[in-house]
C-alpha cells in the first residue's frame, strides 16, 4: 500500500492496521531496522509492518522463508464441495506428481486457485468421493468406507488424474461384482415370473437355463425360448402354442401330449426327446416349423403333425409310428431307420429325403415317392 506518512508512529501503525487489515505493532525499514520514530522515515522508503513477529528479509532464500511462514510447503485447507479438508502441499504433489492436483498446488498460484473467505482453496467436486483419494495420497492404501460407491471414487480419480489409484479401483470394482449365476431356473421361480407378467405381454426367456426343470402342464404360449437350455426338462402336457424354440436345446426332454400348435423349432436340438401324442396341428392353418431341427432318436408316436415343416430335419432312428403327417414337408429330411409304420403320409413331400432302412408297413395311405427319394 502507498500511504502518506504524517503525525506520530502510532498514527502510522493505525493507518497500516486499517489499510492492511491487521493489528500492526512494529515497523521495519527495508534492511530490517526497527523504526521507533517517524522522523527516521524518508521519501520513497519501503516499510514492513508486522503484528509482532520477527523481521524476514524478502531477499533471502525463498525456501527458508516458506519454511518459516508455512505459506507454500506446509499446511493448507481445501474446500471440496462445501466440506473442508486440511492437508499438506507435499501430500497433494509428491505421490502423483503428474496429476491434476499436483499441478494445481505444485507452484503457488500457478493455477490461480480461488479461495473462500476462510482462505481455503475451492474445488467443485464431491467431498464423499474425494476423501478416499486424499487418504490414498497420504498413505498409499485404498480405503473406502461402507456405503461409498466405488464407481464414484473411480470417476473422481480419473478427473484428478490419479493413475495408480485408477488401477486399484478397477480391480476392487471387478472383485465386488457378484459372480454370474448360471444355475437353472426352478419351476417355482418361473411360475412366479409367469404370474407377474400380463397374459398379453411377451415373456422373453431367450438364452435362459431351465435345464432339468419341471415345467409340465404350464401355459407357455407365445413365450420366447430362443436358444434357451431346456435339456432334460419335463414339458409334458405343457401348452407351447406358437412358442419360439428356435435353436433351443430340448435334448432328453419329455414333451408327451404337449400342445405344439404353430411352434417354431427351427434348428432346435431335441435329440433323444419324447414327444409322444403331441399336437402340432393348428386348426387355423398355422403350421409348426421344425426345419433343420435335430430330432435323432425322438419318440413322436401318435403325434398330430398335419402340414408340419420338417424340411432338412434329422429324424434318424426316430419313432414316428401312427403319426399324422398328412401334407407334411419332409423334403431333404433324414428318415434313416425311422419307424413310419401306420403313418398318414398323404400329400407329404418326401422329395430328396433319405428313407434308407425306414419302416413303412401298415401305412394308412399308399406312399408315392419321386425318383429323388434316396
For 111-134, what is each residue's pLDDT tens digit?
A: 566 888 888 889 999 999 999 999
pLDDT of 274: 97
Higher pLDDT, 253 or 115: 253
From-to residues of CATH 3.30.710.10 in the chain: 75-176
Give yes or no for residue 103 having a pLDDT over 80: yes
From-to residues of CATH 2.160.20.80 in the chain: 180-373
Instruction: Give the pLDDT confidence of 274-297 residue by residue, as tens digits.
Output: 999 999 988 888 899 999 999 999
Q: How far is CA 218 from CA 211, 241, 255, 331, in A?
A: 16, 11, 12, 33
DSSP letter, residue 309: B
Say what angle helices 127-139 and 150-160 make with each other, to 10 degrees.
70
Instruction: Give the pLDDT confidence of 192-237 residue by residue, as tens digits.
Output: 888 887 766 667 888 899 999 999 999 999 999 999 999 999 999 9
pLDDT of 70: 41
Instruction: Give the pLDDT confidence of 357-366 residue by residue, as tens digits.
Output: 998 875 544 4
> Among 172, 103, 82, which Cα is nearest to 136's?
172
Instruction: Give the pLDDT confidence of 312-324 residue by residue, as tens digits.
Output: 999 999 999 999 9
Beta partners for residue 34, in sequence order: 28
- Per the CB < 8 A criterion, the answer to whether 260 and 284 are in contact is no
- Arithmetic mean of pLDDT, 8-33: 83
Confidence of residue 63 (pLDDT cuts 50, 70, 90): very low
pLDDT of 364: 47
CA atoms within 13 A on the CB side of 264: 13
Give the separation between CA 265 and CA 247, rounded to whole angstroms. 7
Q: Report the CATH architecture of 180-373.
A: 3 Solenoid (2.160)
Confidence of residue 45 (pLDDT cuts 50, 70, 90): confident
DSSP letter, residue 185: P
Right CATH for 75-176 from 3.40.50.10490, 3.40.50.300, 3.30.710.10, 3.90.950.20: 3.30.710.10
Confidence of residue 343 (pLDDT cuts 50, 70, 90): very high
Give the separation between CA 225 and CA 85, rounded to whole angstroms. 56
Higher pLDDT, 196 or 355: 355
**Three-class SS state of 274:** strand
Instruction: Give the pLDDT confidence of 132-185 residue by residue, as tens digits.
Output: 999 999 988 888 888 889 999 999 999 999 999 998 899 888 887 765 656 788
Averaged pLDDT score across all residues of the chain: 85
The grid coordinates listed for 59 are 531477499
The grid coordinates listed for 142 are 485404498
pLDDT of 27: 85
**How many degrees, rounded to 5, is the angle at CA 263 between CA 358 and CA 235?**
85
What percentage of the chain reaches a pLDDT higher than 90?
A: 50
The grid coordinates listed for 218 are 404350464
Give yes or no for residue 311 having a pLDDT over 80: yes
Give yes or no for residue 65 having a pLDDT over 90: no
> Among 372, 321, 319, which Cα is nearest to 350's?
372
Confidence of residue 271 (pLDDT cuts 50, 70, 90): very high
Higher pLDDT, 1 or 304: 304
Q: Give 195-233 as a DSSP string.
A: HHS-TTS--B-TT-B-TT-B-TT-B-TT-B-TT-B-TT-
Amino acid at each position: 500500500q502507498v500511504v502518506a506518512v504524517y503525525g506520530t508512529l502510532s498514527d502510522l501503525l493505525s493507518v497500516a492496521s486499517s489499510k492492511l487489515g491487521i493489528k500492526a505493532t512494529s515497523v521495519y525499514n527495508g534492511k530490517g531496522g526497527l523504526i521507533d520514530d517517524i522522523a527516521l522515515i524518508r521519501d520513497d522508503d519501503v516499510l514492513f509492518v508486522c503484528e509482532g513477529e520477527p523481521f524476514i528479509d524478502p531477499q533471502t532464500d525463498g525456501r527458508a522463508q516458506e519454511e518459516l511462514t508455512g505459506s507454500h510447503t506446509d499446511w493448507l485447507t481445501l474446500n471440496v464441495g462445501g466440506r473442508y479438508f486440511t492437508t499438506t502441499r507435499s501430500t497433494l504433489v509428491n505421490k502423483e506428481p503428474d496429476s491434476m492436483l499436483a499441478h494445481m498446488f505444485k507452484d503457488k498460484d500457478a493455477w490461480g486457485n480461488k479461495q473462500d473467505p476462510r482462505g481455503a482453496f475451492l474445488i467443485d467436486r464431491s467431498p464423499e468421493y474425494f476423501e478416499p483419494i486424499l487418504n490414498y495420497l497420504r498413505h498409499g492404501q485404498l480405503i473406502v468406507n461402507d456405503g461409498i460407491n466405488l464407481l464414484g471414487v473411480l470417476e473422481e480419480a480419473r478427473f484428478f488424474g490419479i493413475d495408480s489409484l485408477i488401477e486399484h479401483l478397477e480391480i476392487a470394482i471387478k472383485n465386488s461384482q457378484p459372480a454370474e449365476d448360471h444355475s437353472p431356473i426352478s419351476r417355482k421361480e418361473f411360475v412366479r415370473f409367469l404370474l407377474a407378467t400380463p397374459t398379453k405381454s411377451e415373456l422373453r426367456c431367450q438364452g435362459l437355463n431351465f435345464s432339468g426343470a419341471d415345467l409340465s402342464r404350464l401355459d407357455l404360449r407365445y413365450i420366447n425360448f430362443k436358444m434357451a437350455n431346456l435339456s432334460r426338462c419335463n414339458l409334458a402336457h405343457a401348452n407351447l402354442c406358437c412358442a419360439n424354440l428356435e435353436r433351443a436345446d430340448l435334448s432328453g426332454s419329455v414333451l408327451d401330449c404337449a400342445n405344439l400348435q404353430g411352434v417354431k423349432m427351427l434348428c432346435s436340438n431335441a435329440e433323444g426327446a419324447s414327444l409322444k401324442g403331441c399336437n402340432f396341428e393348428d386348426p387355423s392353418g398355422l403350421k409348426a416349423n421344425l426345419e433343420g431341427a435335430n430330432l435323432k432318436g425322438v419318440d413322436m408316436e401318435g403325434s398330430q403333425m398335419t402340414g408340419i415343416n420338417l424340411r432338412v430335419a434329422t429324424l434318424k432312428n426316430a419313432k414316428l409310428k401312427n403319426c399324422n403327417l398328412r401334407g407334411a414337408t419332409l423334403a431333404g429330411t433324414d428318415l434313416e431307420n425311422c419307424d413310419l409304420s401306420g403313418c398318414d403320409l398323404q400329400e407329404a413331400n418326401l422329395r430328396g429325403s433319405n428313407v434308407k432302412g425306414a419302416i413303412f408297413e401298415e401305412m394308412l395311405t399308399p406312399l408315392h415317392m419321386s425318383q429323388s427319394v434316396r
